[in-house]
Structure 1
Amino acid sequence: MTPTLRTRAIRLIPGLALCLAVTGAAYLCQRAEQALLGEAWLEALVLAIVIGTALRSIWTPDPRWQAGIAFSARFLLEAAVVLLGVSVSATTILAAGPALLLGIAAVVVLAIAASFVVGRLLHLPARMALLVACGNSICGNSAIAAVAPVIGAESDDVAASIGFTAVLGVVVVLVLPLFGAALHLGGLQYGALAGLTVYAVPQVLAAAAPLGSVAVQMGTLVKLVRVLMLGPVCLLLSFAAPRLCNETGGTWPRDPAGDRPARARPALHHLVPWFIAGFLALIALRSFGLVPERLIAPAETTATFLTVVSMAALGLGVDVRTVASAGSRVTAAVVLSLLVLGAMSLALVLTLHMA
């Protein structure tokens, strides 16, 4: 190991150790639930983000913790998603079908449009309305971070949008299983609903877990299709945003050959993230029988553990005070946007009649 890599690895230790400690506490709480109640009503996936959020609410980690927390929230999650490809069966893929795939694309596009209109009706600046719309409709923080330079968003708007998606993401994870149970949705239906409505991949896994492995598999598939919509959406916004955001405020990069704003188009390697490519590759290997059966269970266990660690990291990045300090119009726009997405998603799931 080179000195540079050794230094980087050492920087990860404090934050990674903290995430592992929260993960351990989540598993202990799950075991305590099982001992006291006979079963775990809240699994470690959910408990990790709840414990992490509670800790973050009373204590703000200083910079020495951040590298390890960021590594756990991003790379460990991406590795977990890749490993999940081993567990996805051909039955789940066939259950999705072309109708669901087209429906996902339609829901994302319509939800972005509807959420943008809601934000503008509430007199949010156009850039803020677009950040909220894309964050809710695609993949939370990742979508906000990708869209921000395309539309010339200010850093304050980006920070506020990311804070909201983090806080509301926890709320959705806790509430959605109750909603699914009340509607008596099956594993495929509920997994599709979770994949369509929940922000981040680990949150989808946590929200889907209470209804079993089929819900987790379907939720992961649907969520990753949503993530793939980020590239086309950024490309379209690079052309449309200058007209949509024609108000004062924000900065546009200038075209050196003229006076028109230069559109920030996404790089090709951002259109299909590496972990989605890996996930699809493992699905293909599993489908062709190239993955030994004895490796499937350990891969699933490892993916679950890495996901719990990433959930702990996600919780440690959630500041619930963000909602309290935001204005009522922003709060209303984010909540209404989420409700619009939920209504569209439920309509699609019920229309497709998945068994």
Structure 2
Amino acid sequence: MSAATQAQILPLAARPGGPARLLPGLLLCLAVTVAAVGLEHAETWVFGRAWLEPLVLAILLGAALRTAWTPGAHWHPGIAFSAKFLLELAVVLLGASVSAATILAVGPALLLGITGFVVVAVLGGYGLCRLLGLPRRMAILVACGNAICGNSAIAAVAPVIGADGDEVAASIAFTAVLGVAAVLGLPLLVPLLGLSGTQFGVLAGLTVYAVPQVLAATAPLGVLAVQVGTLVKLVRVLMLGPVVLVLSLLTPRLREAPGAAAPHVTAGDRPTLHRLVPWFILGFLAMSLLRSLGLIPQPVLAPLAGAASALTVISMAALGLGVDVRTVARAGGRVSAAVSLSLLALGAIALGLIRLLGVA
């Protein structure tokens, strides 16, 4: 194994200097995370619900801090560790939330429909973003965020394709705004389109980004809409694993600079498994298998989900601390248009699937 490869896969905590060099940056990311959680509680107290999740608030706070103050060199190792390794660890833990039983519960027709929906949405969203002039990595982030589960999908895909903090922050910022708009606007379609509770549950499950947002959007339509929407949304979230796996196989091409030729691979230099599929994707699949086989105790599932969520927020704080707000602002118009048009297309595809499957 070459020195470059070792440096790439060796966690920062194990490199010269040890964990102590991570402490300043890690504590800074934790401080931003605590502030984000505090703001979420303040939102709930003032408005009765949290419109912006801690994940989004952490990026916004981190970016605001980075704009007002540039961290010195001794902060960088902990920030980099939080942005990369902790996020990859969170992806592994997310595998525990994936169960084969959840997939099978929706029935084969709807399951195939959701699978096809996500594939079409990812490819269509990517094509639309590229037509609007977005770079390849940001186009992938926006497409996956819209098609699967918003912020969580963006956060999971980012380390696989080598997206930088500016690209992640821009994608999440505009996706978050559109996510709130979808929650508020979708119920207005019920009388206009004559949707039943089941139909609206499927529509919300296919278009709204986060599970809590699905609950908020479907609550006015009753328990049936909530249950259907949540189930469809969970199956849609499960598509994150296969999508990330495919992207990991395409990673060498995604990381190429524009116009660069692909490196020549000889028979004696074939990529090994850990280079084709990152360690955290293998970990995700392993955790999913353990969950499906019932080898993860039920009382452990909630703490694992909580740990994954917390690590993701810390990682987003770290990404925010590396964001150049001016870069996000320059990309704003194109990203906003891409996210908006992708979401509208998503809704149209979802309505078409509802009619095609004859959902009553």
1:118–1:337 CA contact under 8 A, matched in 2: yes
Q: Which amino acid aligns with 1:137?
A: A
* Structure 1 residue 280, shift from structure 2 partner: 2.5
1:101–1:225 CA contact under 8 A, matched in 2: no
Task: Report percent identity of matched pairs.
Answer: 38
Alignment match, 2:183: 180
1:147–1:234 CA contact under 8 A, matched in 2: yes
243, 248, 263: which is aligned to 1:226?
Answer: 243
2:161–2:248 CA contact under 8 A, matched in 1: no
Alignment match, 1:101: 115
In 2, the alpha carbon distance for the partners of 1:37 and 1:335 equals: 26
Alignment match, 1:71: 81
Q: Output aligned runs, 1:3-22, within 5 Å.
A: 5=15, 7-22=17-32
2:126–2:139 CA contact under 8 A, matched in 1: yes
Alignment match, 2:130: 116
Distance 1:348 1:227, change over 3 A: farther
In 1, the alpha carbon distance for the partners of 2:21 and 2:201 equals: 41
Distance 1:35 1:77, change over 3 A: same
Instruction: Give the SS at the match of 2:80.
Output: helix
Alignment match, 2:148: none
In 2, the alpha carbon distance for the partners of 1:73 and 1:131 equals: 17
Instruction: Give the SS at the match of 2:52.
Output: coil
In 1, the alpha carbon distance for the partners of 2:111 and 2:308 equals: 25
In 1, the alpha carbon distance for the partners of 2:298 and 2:160 equals: 38
* Structure 1 residue 236, shift from structure 2 partner: 7.9
In 1, the alpha carbon distance for the partners of 2:123 and 2:66 equals: 34
1:146–1:234 CA contact under 8 A, matched in 2: yes
2:174–2:335 CA contact under 8 A, matched in 1: no
1:192–1:218 CA contact under 8 A, matched in 2: no
Alignment match, 1:163: 166
TM-score (norm 1): 0.68
Q: Which amino acid aligns with 1:85?
A: G
Deviations for 1:235-290, whole angstroms, at most 9, x for unmatched residues? 8889xx99xx7xxxx55478799xxxxxxx98753543322332232222222221
Q: Which amino acid aligns with 1:318?
A: V
Q: Which amino acid aligns with 1:315?
A: G
Q: Where does the alignment leave 5 or more consecutive residues of structure 2 unmatched?
A: 1-12, 145-152, 188-198, 216-229
Tell me which moved more, 42-51 or 3-12.
3-12
Q: Output aligned runs, 1:1-355, within 5 Å.
A: 5=15, 7-90=17-100, 92-94=102-104, 95=106, 97-119=111-133, 130-138=136-144, 163-184=166-187, 189-190=203-204, 192-193=206-207, 207-211=210-214, 217-218=234-235, 220-231=237-248, 233=250, 250-252=259-261, 269-324=274-329, 326=330, 333-353=334-354
Alignment RMSD: 4.1
* Structure 1 residue 322, shift from structure 2 partner: 1.0
Tell me which moved more, 25-34 or 333-342.
333-342
Q: Which amino acid aligns with 1:104?
A: V
